[in-house]
Chain A
Amino acid sequence: MGHIYAILLAGLFAIAAGLVGSVASMKRMVLASDVMSHLALPGLGIAFLLKGNPLVGGGATLFLGTLLVWQLQKKTDLATDASIGVVFAACLGIGALVTPNEDLLEALFGNFQKLSLPGFLLGTAAVMLVVAFLLGMKDRLILDLFSPELAAATGVKVALLDLGFLLVFSLTILVGLRFMGGLLSSALIIIPAATARQLTGRMGQFVVLASAVSLVSVAVGFLISTLILKTSTVGPTIVIVSVLLFVMSLLKKK
């Protein structure tokens, strides 16, 4: 049963990742956010070290790091762009140092394993929160994407909306953290959206396609990983499948 829960949650994660990724791609925050999963690494490492719950540790530093990134992003100049990069790299370094050697591979690249019922329910609740936020804030997000100034003039609280999106982004990373790992958890947010963008120019289709491509990547990657490669480190294979899908989408004539 534990594996069924894990598979189901992986699927839910894929859908959330596609949704979040499509918005992130429209916000042009792809490069910065791709490495956001690094923020979880110090917390993951400490949790492994102390034999605590990895998700709690990873979630804590992910959350704190997100707040930090949000503050840094509000000041838009080159220095803060660089400082965001420094934060990400530092987290990777610290995380790698802190994590016990035998857990390092799992922390970085994930491990597909049984999921308890409470864990499954929590993960599902998190995904539902992500979807609810994106659907509920859809119009405000559209205005923010078009022009943060005009959105503010229309009464949208732009800074809070951006924070909300960053948190939802982090929450999605957290849901996928165990089986995708700290390095690759955000790759699935980025790549399927890029693929979907090649295939359509309409926002509704774009968002749905991103989720669909993400789901296919997870399914195919998971199957190849467990059945052919016989490994529970499914993250890298999933990412490679998503990249192959992206390459295929480039072949499509617009």
Chain B
Amino acid sequence: MEYLASDKIAIVDLNTRDIIEDELDEDLVLDKIGGAGITKHLYDQHSAGNPIVLGTGLLTGTLVPGASLGIMTAKSPSTGKVSHVPLNLDAGMELKYSGFDYIVIKGSADKPVYLWIHDGILDINDAGDLWGKDTWAATDHIRDEMGDDLIQVLCIGQAGEKASDLAQIGINYWQSADRFGFGRLCGEKNLKLIAIRGMGLLEISEPEAFVEDCAELIAAIRSNNNTQKQGIAAVSAALGEEDLSDWLSPLTHRHMACFNTPVATNTFLFTDEDPALLEETTVTEPGFLFTDIFPLVVLKKAGLSAKDAGLVLKACAKYGIDGAAVAELSAKSGLTSPEEIEKTFPDLKGPVESTGKSVFSPWAAMGQDINANWERRQAVAYILGLHPIWLQMATDLTEKKLLDLAGLGTEMEFTPDTLDEVIGDILA
């Protein structure tokens, strides 16, 4: 695969520690396009090994507005269905530039390991030093050891290590959209974390035309009121969910966007520092980055202050437990103090309502029904590599436009019929 790809797939066997590398076949791309289309295909091919498949969308990492998405595909221990967790923030981008297009992780290791994916090299390393660490300590340890603060770390905490059904795999210090218990799956495989760093380059078949189209899109997006929102509260309101602005704004530091995503869907709250501070704070942990609307809405309704919500979700992120599940269960028990809530973590169990019912994470289904329209739009996001929340707001990014861009970028032709088929396979 010459364009918009590294042309490399790795099949990792954690039992034997063998790694097989292969090219990304153009016929596979013509047939399955990319992202969840290909990760699902690879899952099916290697299903005997109960694999976790990492991948990125066809357009991930390009100048297409919102092209930030990585994907983690596996059979959810909670639902039994082959499901997809969106890898946003900068993780999807880093995976795209890591030198690998897709990575299949089969089997289980006999003792704790981590994967270090860097510039086309995949190492399986001993994680003895990391097992038992919370996600913040583990992420810091990897970044310090490798001497690079920009390494993206998909990490489990103690919840995943104990194979809790509410365990989540996080992104660096933050909560991900894992509502499927992938954290438990990693723990069962003795896989503590996946560290990713890449300095790759993606060739473009028709660079000028492709970038011109992207420039037109961003101009349209900038002149559209709907795509001028910034921050998790504004996004929540725009999607028809509760407006969290008044509750969050007194402690809001800044809004942070996922890679190349025009609307910042994440908001950093300062719980232990003056949010008006512009200089770099001397406090080591001044606050928390909110990346998930649902737990915020639940915690707000339960009567927690924004500060306490920040402390609860930070504790969830460190322990590697799904904040949506914690919010739901704490609300049911009537707990409101962060300390009390944190004490429940080791014994907390599902089932919870917030578990993903579709194969796509409900993290992107705030304020809407999970119906056929929503699923289709999600499928397009996960195949082409667009941010699943952003794509719902970005009406200029039609299916036709995205398929045209895919063609301009790769010199291949992707038809609406192919897209329909790939979506059908993912939802089957």
Is the A/B pair a real complex? Answer: no
Residues on A facing B (Cβ under 8 Å): none
Residues on B facing A (Cβ under 8 Å): none
